[in-house]
Amino acid sequence: MTGAYSTHSIHQEAVVEDHIVARLVAAQGYDERSHDAYDKSLAMDRELVLRFIQTTQPEAWERLDEHYAASAEAEFFKRLEQALAARGTLQVLRDGIKLVPNITFNLCFLRPASGLNPELVELYERNTLSAMRQVRYSAKNENAIDIVLFLNGLPVVTMEVKNTPTGQTVRHAERQYQKDRSPAGEPLLTFKRGALVHFALDQTRVSMTTRLMNGKTYFLPFNRGDAEGGASNAEIPGEFPIAYLYEDLPEACAVLSRDVFLDLVGRFIHLEKGEGREVMIFPRFHQLDAVRSILADARTHGAGQNYLIQHSAGSGKSNTIAWTAHQIINLHDDMDQPVFDTAIIVTDRVVLDRQLQNTVASFEKTKGVVKKIDGTSRDLKAAIRSGARIIITTIQKFGTDHLQELSGQSGRRFAVIVDEAHSSQSGKSAQAMTDALTREASDSDDVEDLILEYQRARGPQANISFLAFTATPRNVTLERFGIPGADGKPHPFHLYSMRQAIEEGFILDVLQNYMTYRAYYELEKAVEDDPEFESRRAQRKVARFASLHPTAIDQKVEVIVEHFRAHVQGELDGHAKAMVVTQSREHALRYWRGLGRYIEKQGYSGLKALVAFSDSLEIDGVQWTEAEANGFPETELPRRFDGDEFQILVVAEKYQTGFDQPKLCAMYVDRPLNGLQSVQTLSRLNRTAPGKDRTYVLDFRNTQEEIQTAFKPFFEVTQLEDRSDPNQIYDLSQRIMSAPYIDPEEVDKFSQRFFSGPLVAADRIALEGYVRLAVERFVLDEDEAAEEEFRQLLKSFMRFYVFVAQIIRLEDTDLEKLYAYVSWLARLLPARDHPADIEITEDMLNLKAFRVDQTADGSVSLAPGETATLQPITEFGANPYTEEEERSLSEIIESFNERHGTTFSSEDFLFGEQANRELLDGDMMEMLQNNPANVVYGAFSQEFMRQMIRQFQKSSQMRSIVMSDTKAREQLTKHFFQRAQRVAREARN
């Protein structure tokens, strides 16, 4: 009960308790009840339970009274107590109880999906929320819980409140639950039987748990976050920062408001069962807020919207997706009409994420709602046609011929939930999915109308909303799914940042202990003066030969095992795990065998390794599969690795993403990690576990600076430097149409036939005939540089066109015609000639020396505000010149012409671009990304010179100048070196 406070008491904890309860009563319609009304033996407000039952279900109570006479009340509470003990509070609230003879009582009325049934709406309104302060819950002692919240008399929430002015924080509240709130013999605190969630809080922060286990009780943060993406809750004028619990704010309803509270009970809280254990899942604030925000926006605006959800890795994305899918299919608008018919959850993993599948299916309350498409695209087609409510599939299944037959879907509305939205969601598979969900038979005979319909089908569709979830949105993802902000740039619809997750302690900072090593090797040629060893392809083979050499593997294995034993193995009371990340399946298998040999040789008992790789692999004449190597089926690996028998897992691609193992404490990296891949791979380490407060990374291939640079764009909210310029599509199309191989009349004839209607075999022959005319002209051209530039131009146009057409209604049939034409042309053009492959063997090379040296050790953690923006999309890989690069090239050309009396233009220097493309197509890209300029420039200069000489075959004048003019040659090399460095940096991101 609230009242006035003296200057001596105003700063006390009781003031905060009073304020919370007072606001729940005044703003949210709670009843404040005296703690004397609490029944310790039943762990409920008996009077309120009885009042709710008798006033909302009088006929059922009358039948009970007739059957049991004077013992009706006693029989009711006896049965209720039995049901709570057997099924738990959640199920009793949802399903009610039954008494003989077939008398059913509801303990709660959940919110109906629509308002079409006034009786259900009225019953929902009659639920009673109440609050008690200082509840002495135990018959064994005088312990009191600060606040307990009830639904129709049954306890749902307990709260321990601490007061920061007196030096008490949320951590003290957590310790009070852990030390002084033993659940043994206390029904209020017993898992399932008592309150569903326990909140620990002070005036600035909140945490929660669903299971009290004394000292093992594990709390999760329940914070809203601040405006900068940090863990501290944002200030609220005239209120405590934790007011989002009890006060309706302009951007969100209070967590404990009537509608949200009842939604939590009816639609969110989930009892997960499996492998002999049960877990009560209560959404964290960012999950609850994201789902409710999406539903509120969709209810207002209907289908046809985009939502980008940027939630940090490890933030419970699978659960958030499951809650969203199950609730969005029951969403009704203000006119009580369904907003969506079907939710389709898609992933770009070829092998569907089993964890996501199982999570979504486990939330199913009505059997048959969820359809998991593990089979073929025929199964997907059947599920869509049958009107399935929730479909889980891979995006690749939409790109098959079976789905192309699907039509008549534009009248249905789809919520497409994209798991790990990246570039694949703006490509052909994503377009095939949109086609399948919107396609209708056209009633027009005009080819221009038909082409326009094709193009419009690429753009935003009124019957499809996209909900894209990712921790690491790329520039493509932001522009495809982001919502425009006041600055005109796309932004995430909802954010739970990596920074907030780390500061809250929900995930660990994987950059806190980052050690790098560098491998140095010296090879000796057994075959002297072999010109094949000078080629770039041979150098790649040589590098691979060195990295797979037993000496190289063995030395790195020794570093890994000894580091693991010295620093990692003792973590988590000896249950710590480690992952070794390799660059290929062969590397993974050889590492695994090397680990086994070294562990056996050293006699290290209690240390064993597993290996994960796809398909079969032949090594040293022996055929291997993952199952044969490990001794059990690959589906068993996650469970077996979780046990005590195995400590190290060696991987190549598999398990680098989407693998959730909280016991992972260390990662050993022996492959280049580029940009986004760095964050996704290293994030396997960030899961928390009791006793886990640090991680270790030992990296043989990447520098600390490179890894830190990769993390910066995704540390807080991911932002774009600027929007991409859609007019680039016209620059690309003009360059294609101006090429000597293209005849506009052939493009038009091709389009008239291609878009005229259903195609038959004769159409294919005719269409290929039009395209082969361009192919013939291409083949006759002997300018290899021009041919390669044209190939790259076609790729850039196709990729950029699909992207632009998805976000903008272009209304330009010429672009759609050109896209159809060049899609055929790109397939029919002859591939670029590659030199014959060579096999490097021990007979050709000897490993003369090899050593591994530590190069850096320490923290590379990011500080608040230490971020970087993503660059806009520029022609999808066409890499246009920057102003500085154009100025540099102009100065070089001017210098050439002045000294040699020539009239060269920028087009004459395309040989440099071609040389760079050749170099960046292989190991030179990795060298530029992984080494400082002064280290790599010499190697670049030699390779660039070789490539230039090849290009000079058609320009003897240019060759003569470059070969004789040292200054000119150095100018050119430095110019293209700087450009190659930029391209390599951008490729990493």
pLDDT at residue 1 greater than cutoff 50: no
Would you list the DSSP string of 204-270?
A: S-EEEES---GGG---EE-----TTS-SSPPPBTTB-GGGGGTS-BTTB--TTSHHHHHHIIIII-E
pLDDT at residue 930 greater than cutoff 80: no
Would you list the DSSP string of 139-183?
A: SSS--EEEEEEEETTEEEEEEEE--GGGT--HHHHHHHHHHH---
Top pLDDT among 253 and 561 is at: 561
> Quick one: pLDDT at residue 877?
44
Q: Among 675, 696, 714, give the residue marking a domain's end.
A: 714
> Quick one: pLDDT at residue 820?
92
Lowest mean pLDDT among 773-782, 916-925, 965-974: 916-925
What is the rounded CA–CA span in Å between residue 150 and residue 21? 12
Shared-domain flag, residues 474 and 529 = no
Task: Please write the tens of the pLDDT for every residue from 559-617.
Answer: 999 999 999 999 999 999 999 999 889 999 999 999 999 999 999 998 999 999 988 88
Shared-domain flag, residues 317 and 433 = yes
In angstroms, the Cα distances linking 29 to 32, 106, 129, 289, 519 are: 9, 21, 7, 21, 67
Shared-domain flag, residues 472 and 518 = no
> Quick one: pLDDT at residue 443?
52
What is the rounded CA–CA span in Å between residue 173 and residue 201? 7
* Residue 193 CA, distance from chain mean position: 35
Top pLDDT among 278 and 362 is at: 278
Mean pLDDT taken over the chain:
85
Shared-domain flag, residues 485 and 574 = no
Lowest mean pLDDT among 56-60, 491-495, 719-723: 719-723
Mean pLDDT of 166-185: 94
Shared-domain flag, residues 886 and 925 = yes
pLDDT at residue 536 greater than cutoff 60: no
> Quick one: pLDDT at residue 351?
45
* Domain membership flag for residue 793: no
Task: Report the relative pairing of strands 31-33 and 129-136 from DSSP bridges.
Answer: parallel
Shared-domain flag, residues 199 and 300 = no
SS3 sequence of 846-867:
EEEEEEEEEEECCCCCCCCCCC
Shared-domain flag, residues 364 and 470 = yes
Top pLDDT among 851 and 769 is at: 769
Lowest mean pLDDT among 379-383, 734-738, 859-863, 880-884: 880-884
What is the rounded CA–CA span in Å between residue 258 and residue 29? 8
Q: Which domain holds residue 897?
A: 879-988
Number of domains in the chain: 4
Shared-domain flag, residues 487 and 552 = no
What is the rounded CA–CA span in Å between residue 26 and residue 17? 14
Task: Tell me the range of 146-150, 514-518, 853-857 where mean pLDDT is highest.
Answer: 146-150
> Quick one: pLDDT at residue 174?
97
> Quick one: pLDDT at residue 938?
78
Q: For residue 956, name the pLDDT band (cuts at 50, 70, 90).
A: low
**Would you say 396 and 350 are in contact if contact means Cβ atoms under 8 Å apart?**
yes
Q: How many residues does the chain have?
A: 989
Q: Among 714, 733, 755, give the residue marking a domain's end.
A: 714
Q: Which two tokens stand for residue 729?
A: 């599509």
Shared-domain flag, residues 481 and 560 = no
Counting Cα atoms < 13 Å in the Cβ hemisphere of 185 gives 4
Shared-domain flag, residues 488 and 532 = no
Task: Tell me the range of 109-118, 382-391, 576-585, 757-766 where mean pLDDT is highest.
Answer: 576-585
Top pLDDT among 898 and 117 is at: 117
> Quick one: pLDDT at residue 407?
60
**Residue at 504: amino acid letter:** E
Q: For residue 925, name the pLDDT band (cuts at 50, 70, 90).
A: confident
Answer yes or no: pTM beyond 0.75: yes
* Domain membership flag for residue 437: yes
> Quick one: pLDDT at residue 810?
87
Task: Please write the tens of the pLDDT for every residue from 340-380.
Answer: 999 999 886 654 466 777 788 878 777 778 888 877 778 88
DSSP designation for 565:
I
Top pLDDT among 371 and 715 is at: 715
* Domain membership flag for residue 788: no
Q: For 841-857, give one letter per residue: b (16+ CB within 10 A) or e.
A: eeebbebeebebeeeee
* Domain membership flag for residue 656: yes
* Domain membership flag for residue 573: yes
> Quick one: pLDDT at residue 445?
57
Shared-domain flag, residues 299 and 335 = yes
Q: For residue 456, name the pLDDT band (cuts at 50, 70, 90).
A: confident
* Domain membership flag for residue 818: no
> Quick one: pLDDT at residue 551?
84
What is the rounded CA–CA span in Å between residue 949 and residue 940? 14
Lowest mean pLDDT among 190-194, 595-599, 895-899, 964-968: 895-899
3-class DSSP state of 343: strand
Which CATH number fits the domain that encloses residue 385? Answer: 3.40.50.300
What is the rounded CA–CA span in Å between residue 835 and residue 921? 14
What is the rounded CA–CA span in Å between residue 914 and residue 918? 6
Task: Please write the tens of the pLDDT for every residue from 817-856.
Answer: 999 999 999 989 987 665 555 566 665 666 667 788 888 8
* Domain membership flag for residue 650: yes
Q: For residue 651, name the pLDDT band (cuts at 50, 70, 90).
A: very high
Top pLDDT among 538 and 310 is at: 310
Nearest Cα neighbor of 542 from 852, 944, 923, 928 is: 923
Lowest mean pLDDT among 404-408, 685-689, 768-772: 404-408
> Quick one: pLDDT at residue 423?
47
Task: Please write the tens of the pLDDT for every residue from 17-38.
Answer: 999 999 999 999 999 999 999 9
Mean pLDDT of 166-191: 95
> Quick one: pLDDT at residue 319?
92
> Quick one: pLDDT at residue 596?
96
> Quick one: pLDDT at residue 570?
93
* Domain membership flag for residue 871: no
Q: Among 268, 303, 331, give the residue marking a domain's end.
A: 268
Shared-domain flag, residues 650 and 522 = yes
Would you list the DSSP string of 602-621?
A: HT-TT--EEEE-SSEEEETT
Mean pLDDT of 105-110: 96
